[in-house]
Amino acid sequence: MSARIEGLGELRRSFVSLSEDMHTNVSRRMVASAGGIVRKEARALAQQQGLRLTGAMIANIAIKRERTPEGVTQYHLGVRSGKDLGKRAARQLVVGKNGKIVNAYVNDPFYWRFLERGRNVYHGDGKRRRGVKSRIEATPFIAPALTNKQTEALDAMAARLQAAIRKANGQ
């Protein structure tokens, strides 16, 4: 899905006026402020759509800065799950399918992708992929959040940039 975002040219021209050493910090702050707005909307949409099973999914909607080449600032908006839960993960020892004791994450919202994109599910005896096929219908909450809040996110980025420019000029 691609979205057309208006007003980026003016934002880019203002950004170029900053000194070179400020680019990285200001760009990170700008994108993080916009991401916070979209994250808040995604949490609200998930709550409105009744996707609160344990509360773990809504609580773990987060933005994360990605490693990128020099001069590029990129954040990822999604749901923390599995190993990405880090210290937030409550672990519990359980007996796995093969009889070994393994760590399992309690309240791991691994299912968020199924809700966001939809998925075919096979119900069978667990040994074969035969059986009844059903479909989990998509109830997206992240993509609509971006669509709903893109102008507010751009406004937040512009406000953060203007604050940085004022600070650099000593105002």
pLDDT at position 22 is 72
Contacts 24+ apart (CB under 8 A), 144-147: 144/45, 145/38, 145/39, 145/41, 145/42, 145/44, 145/45, 145/77, 146/3, 146/38, 146/77, 147/3
d(CA 157, CA 38): 12
pLDDT at position 103 is 75
Region 32-54: mean pLDDT is 87
Mean pLDDT over all residues of the chain? 78
Q: How many CB atoms lie within 10 A of CB 85?
A: 20
171 has a pLDDT exceeding 80:
no
Q: Give the chain's radius of gyration (CA, Å).
A: 21
**pTM of the complete model:** 0.70
d(CA 108, CA 53): 11
SS3 label, residue 52: coil
26 has a pLDDT exceeding 70:
yes
Contact call for residues 136 and 118 (beta carbons, < 8 A):
yes
Which pLDDT band, with edges at 50, 70 and 90, does 113 fall under?
confident
d(CA 109, CA 60): 8
Q: In this structure, what DSSP letter does residue 53 have?
A: S
pLDDT tens per residue across span 8-25: 666 666 666 666 667 777
pLDDT tens per residue across span 57-103: 888 888 888 887 877 778 888 888 877 776 666 667 778 778 888 77
37, with CB counted inside 10 A (0-12, 13-18, 19+), is buried
SS3 label, residue 104: strand
